[in-house]
Amino acid sequence: MSEFNSEENRPAEASVFERVSEAHSEPLSRQERLERWYYDTVVVTAKIIWEDIRARIGISILLFIILMGVVGPFIVERPQIGDYPKFIGPFQSTKFILGTDGLGMPIGAQIVHATPAMLKMAFAGAVVAMSIGIVIGTTAGYKGGRVDDVLMTLTDIVLTMPGLPLIVVLAAIYQPENPYVVGFILAIDNWPGLARRLRSQVLTIREESYVEASRAMGFGSPEILRRDIIPQLMPYITINSAGAARSIIYESVGLYFLGILPFTTLNWGVMMNMAYSNGAVSNPMLSGHWLWFPMLVLLLLSLGLILFSQGMDRIFNPRLRARHQRSGDDGDSTNPAVVE
């Protein structure tokens, strides 16, 4: 009887395996590949962000500040000296909700018009620091030998230099006025640590089987770094870029507050410097709001970048992505891997 059943089931089992094999062997159309890419890239990322409150709050804060920097200057009129009475406290008029400073300019409008320069500095500094760190760190880790020795010696030399005094000297010599140039100078102090960390990560990846396969196929070092190694490090790089942007913003505000960088444009550090010079600490009831509101926006941006980097850690987590991709595939009747 069992032999009979076994014989009887063989055609059905064979049929299932044949259908699975046919399903897997059937090439996906362009529309199906596009839908799968959209699901894996956009939908899965949105689901992970929605499940993580840190990512939701961090991205919301960053979007708010980016909108304030991009759209705000077109909506809020640029503040001028003597627009309103001096030293008006916050929440006393809809024309200047955050109050006015000692020059009669609305503080809220100053914060809005200072935001584009802050974003430009953070963007330029993060891009330059990440680019130098990626090139030096990955090349040193992958090539090894004499190339590694030279690049790491250069990195160690920059690491041993006192970063802030070096930046102060450069800023005093060149007196940069363009926010992108300020970001570039501040990036000098931010790339060596990243290069060191990336080198250690590459040392663990370069012996993987797929890297060995690329070497056996004759690909050059730049091609292997671009195709096989750097994509594996993108989560790590993205998380560190948020930290680099935060460092650039802190350093720029500090240098403007100390008066080392020239006061050529509206800046949160310039606002705090002028508030401090006009007694915001000694007489906080009169002009304390001139100091506290730019500081509050600075802390808000820093909080947004920290939560964003923590959220990126979950977004790039392969286990979480695989779980969401499986749940999506299970409910997808068009998936060729699902056989009824």
pLDDT of amino acid 338: 37
pLDDT band at 221; cut points 50, 70, 90: confident
**DSSP reduced 3-state for 100:** strand
User: Region 59-78: what's the mean pLDDT?
Assistant: 92
User: Region 48-56: what's the mean pLDDT?
Assistant: 84
pLDDT of amino acid 3: 45
* Interval 279-331: pLDDT, tens: 888 888 888 888 899 999 989 998 998 888 888 777 777 677 777 665 555 54
pLDDT of amino acid 233: 84
pLDDT at 5 over 60: no
Q: Rounded CA gap, 309 and 301, in Å?
A: 12
Q: Rounded CA gap, 48 and 260, in Å?
A: 43
pLDDT at 1 over 50: no
The percent of residues above 90 in pLDDT, for the chain, comes to 16
Q: Rounded CA gap, 224 and 226, in Å?
A: 5
Q: Residue 34, CB half-sphere, CA atoms under 13 Å: how many?
A: 3
Q: Rounded CA gap, 98 and 289, in Å?
A: 8
* Interval 168-200: pLDDT, tens: 787 777 778 888 888 888 888 888 888 998 898
Nearest to 275 by CA among 92, 65, 86, 73: 86
User: Region 22-30: what's the mean pLDDT?
Assistant: 64
User: Whole-model pTM?
Assistant: 0.75
pLDDT band at 152; cut points 50, 70, 90: very high
Contact by Cβ (8 Å): 257, 81: no
* Interval 98-141: pLDDT, tens: 989 888 899 999 999 999 988 998 899 889 988 999 899 999 99
